[in-house]
Structures are given as structure tokens and as C-alpha cells.
Amino acid sequence: MNRREFMRSTGVVCGGFAFTRSLPLFAETPSTEGWRMFEVTTRVELLKPSGVTHIWLPAALIRDTPYQKTLSNRFNAEGGTAKLTTDKQNALGIVAATFAADKKPVLTLTSRVSLKNYGVDLTAPAKPPHASKTELEFFLKPSRYVPIDGIVKATADKATRGRQA
């Protein structure tokens, strides 16, 4: 290999290394127009715990919407154990922490979200929203805490009878 060939090949390699570091500068970034980023920190500290302590905190939505994108949900339960439990169908998350009786219960949750203004013209005539049959079935079905089949009334009647006796 002669000197000229050597200089050409090493120059191409060095230039390649320099260019790969600058590639992110040329990359197309997603549009952030109208989006604002926030970091919300929630800290819970029980001052007078008694025995084993449990703390639950709601996390930011786990599914993106037209007005909110969750970037991260970070949590710290120093001296305890914590985990994020998610309900993907409802896009909800909750951080549950447990602390032993001899530990100071402190749970910190930091959620980073990006929000966009989202407006609705309330002066315009209302158009009924279009929902599919699947969506309607999901939102109209009973749940454990919102029964729609009369079970709540029966439970309330039993509780009333128990107090009268």
C-alpha cells in the first residue's frame, strides 16, 4: 500500500467516525408544536405509622390521548417495596408500596407528561358523539364498584336491617 492509498482510506474512516456522531443533528424530530412538558412529583410521608404500612398513588395515564402523552412514571419507596400495577383496558396505573413496621413510610412518584391544549366549542350545536357498539358495551357494563343491576340496594337494605336489630 502506498502513502496516498493509506491517507485516503484512513481519511474516509476518520470522517465516518466524525459524521456518525453528528447524525442526530440531521435526524428529523417529531413535531412538538403546541405540546408542553411537565414533571409532577407527589411525595407521601406518614408521620405516625402503626405496624405494616401500605400506600397507593395514582400514576399518570398509561395510554396516549390527543391531549396527554405520558413520558414516564418513576417511583421510589426507600426502605419498602413498590410496584406499578396497570389496567390497560382503562389506561390506568397505580403505584402500591408496602413498608415494614420498623421503616419510615415515604413514597415518591414522579410523572413526566406532555400536554397539549385541547378545546371544545361549547357554543356550537351539539352533535351526538359517534360510538361503536363495542365502546358502548364497555362503558355501560356494571363493575364491582358500580353495579347497575340492583345489588347495591339489596346490600343497603341488609345493612339497614342489621342496625335496626
Q: pLDDT, tens digit, for every residue of 34-58? A: 899 999 999 999 999 999 999 999 9
Beta carbons within 10 angstroms of residue 42's beta carbon: 14
DSSP-assigned letter for residue 89: T
C-alpha gyration radius of the chain: 28
Q: Virtual CA dihedral for 135, 140, 145, 150, nearest 10 degrees?
A: -160
Average pLDDT over residues 85-99: 92
- All domains in the chain, ordered by first residue: 35-118 (2.60.40)
Q: pLDDT, tens digit, for every residue of 124-145? A: 888 777 888 888 888 788 877 7
pLDDT band of residue 77 (cuts 50, 70, 90) is: very high
Better-predicted residue by pLDDT, 152 or 112? 112
Strand partners, 53: 99
First to last CA, the chain: 105
For the cut 80, the answer to whether the pLDDT of residue 94 exceeds it is: yes
Residue 109: half-sphere exposure toward Cβ, Cα within 13 Å: 19
Strand partners, 33: none
Phi, psi angles (nearest 5°) of residue 152? -60, -45
Better-predicted residue by pLDDT, 18 or 135? 135
Q: What is the pLDDT of residue 149?
A: 66
